[in-house]
Amino acid sequence: MGNPPLTLVGWMIAAIAVVGGGLIWEWPLWSIGLIGMGLISVAYVMTRNVWKQTCENEGRIRAAFHQLQQVTEKQEGRSSLPSEPEALGIELQHTVTQIKIRMANLEEERAKIVAIVENLVEGVVAFDPKGQVLFSNPSACRILGFDEQQLQGRSVWEVLRNKELAELVERCQELALDETQRVEIEIHVSPPMTLEVYGLPFPLANQDKGSVIVLHDVTQLRRLEQVRAEFIDNVSHELRTPLTVIVGYLETLSDEPSLETPNNRKFVHIAHQHAERLSRLVDDLRSLSEIESGKVILRCETISLREVVEEVCEMFQSQLSKKSLQIFSDVEQMHKAWVDRDRIIQILVNLVDNAIKYSPKGGTILFQAVPQEEQCIVLQVRDTGQGIPSTDLPRITERFYRVDRARSRAEGGTGLGLSIVKHLVHLLRGQFRIQSDVGKGTTVELTLPISSHVATEEEKR
């Protein structure tokens, strides 16, 4: 019954044999016809189901082959199925060959990616939507203190043992695919390490998202930064006392009547100027070192920006009058910010000092405050000075960077003012921006929080 055509032919031969025998033996014609029809009917009934099933199988084979063939025919420009069984077999073999080639290429690409990831200095760990480890490279195992086999299948809390890092992995699943988050943490392994961690989501099947974290060991870098900060702090501390003595003696000599010759008094005056400049440089270095090392303690409160601006303007009245400069304030009493009062005054003092140094006689300095929708306020300091070239703007906040070195030294600048301002603004959870046109002036924008809630949200970001 496995081959319906042969079964049907067999029954037809049997029917012909019976009919022929009936004619030889002279049976009645009606009986011969009845027996023949009966045999043919039995053959049809016995082969009908098998024949139908065979036709359905053939249809399914052709449909499956058509779907398989579409994978490769798009690139080769073939869209028609062969009608002959021999051609069908050739096309099927060709399709299978193409699929094997593609699978080999995919396997080669996968091997390349695995080789690259496994040899990265940075640790890479991938998690599934449930927070279990899918993949980890040897660097991640070394950093986290596990063997590779121990990491597989473990949950995020077992592997990381750090609340902030585990929460980062969980938050990554809520991010868009083009977003990343960064944290810096310390893990207490042997020896302790400081890690810079980047987290990002990656897509899985069924529209699920997993998480990937990249662990970068910055322990040595942070140690060197600490050594540098301590060195600057120690040097500035040691220089402070002798410089104070030198400045004091030079001030005494300047008032000494025995300095009768003009040259003697001139030399003492020059030495006094440079000693004061060196003293300011040491003070700025010490201040910058304290800010970077986190030694600065903030006492933030809601303050009136108008009162702070008026206090700063009062400090510079004598310098403003010497250069015939005018200073204006467009800051209202309602304009407030959540900042440390002493630090915001330090920031504005540096900005106004720069504006006075680089503004020509008869220029103006203007304070403006603009509230923002993000619960922040922008405090602007505008001047009509010489401006800063666009090529220098990206580096203007670097230590000791000067646009006009000769003029900066002549004015007594240390080259650290804007660097201090930038660090202090970031310490206050604000943003710092400079806009400038050569020959027209410079605008410095300070974006500051107006409440402790906004400052806390900025710190989390």
Residue 153 region by backbone torsions, left for phi larger than 0, else alpha for psi between -120 and 50, else beta: left
Last residue of some domain: 217, 238, 266?
217
The tens place of each residue's pLDDT in the chain, 461 residues long, gives: 455 555 555 656 666 666 666 666 666 666 666 666 666 666 666 666 666 666 676 666 666 666 666 655 554 554 444 555 566 667 777 777 888 888 888 888 888 877 887 787 888 888 888 878 888 888 888 887 777 666 777 777 777 777 888 888 888 878 887 788 888 888 777 778 888 888 888 877 776 788 888 888 888 888 887 787 777 777 777 777 888 888 887 877 777 776 667 677 777 777 877 787 788 778 777 777 777 777 777 888 899 999 999 998 888 888 888 888 888 888 888 888 988 898 899 899 888 888 888 888 888 889 999 888 778 899 999 888 888 888 778 777 777 666 665 455 555 556 677 888 888 888 888 888 988 888 888 898 999 988 766 555 555 55
Q: Which residue has the tokens 């020509």?
A: 360
* Residues 142, 163 within the same domain: yes
* Residues 329, 426 within the same domain: yes
CB 141 within 8 A of CB 118: no
pLDDT score of 188: 76
Compute the distance between CA of residue 351 and CA of residue 368 in angstroms, rounded to an integer.
14
CB 199 within 8 A of CB 211: yes
* Residues 248, 352 within the same domain: no
* Residues 324, 238 within the same domain: no
Q: Between the CA of residue 30 and those of 27, 114, 230, what are the distances in Å?
A: 8, 83, 123
* Residues 318, 277 within the same domain: no
Helices and strands (H, E) in the chain, number of each type? 15, 12
CATH number at residue 456: 3.30.565.10
Helix segments in 175-218, DSSP class H = none
pLDDT score of 45: 66
- Structural domain count of the chain: 4
* Residues 130, 93 within the same domain: no
pLDDT digits (tens, 9 = 90+) for 129-156: 887 888 888 888 888 777 766 677 777 7
* Residues 309, 435 within the same domain: yes
Residue 455, domain extent: 300-460
Look at residue 111 and tell me if it is in a domain.
no
Last residue of some domain: 275, 292, 309?
292
* Residues 264, 333 within the same domain: no
Look at residue 114 and tell me if it is in a domain.
no
Look at residue 112 and tell me if it is in a domain.
no
Q: Give this prediction's pTM.
A: 0.56
At 312, which helix (H) or strand (E)? helix 305-315
pLDDT score of 173: 79
pLDDT score of 79: 47
CATH number at residue 199: 3.30.450.20
CB 155 within 8 A of CB 131: yes
Compute the distance between CA of residue 447 and CA of residue 373 in angstroms, rounded to an integer.
12
Cβ-count burial of 59 within 10 angstroms (0-12 exposed, 13-18 middle, 19+ buried)? exposed
* Residues 454, 305 within the same domain: yes
* Residues 186, 250 within the same domain: no
Look at residue 335 and tell me if it is in a domain.
yes
Q: Between the CA of residue 109 and those of 101, 104, 105, 123, what are the distances in Å?
A: 13, 9, 6, 21
Residue 341, phi then psi, degrees to nearest 5: -60, -45
pLDDT score of 221: 85
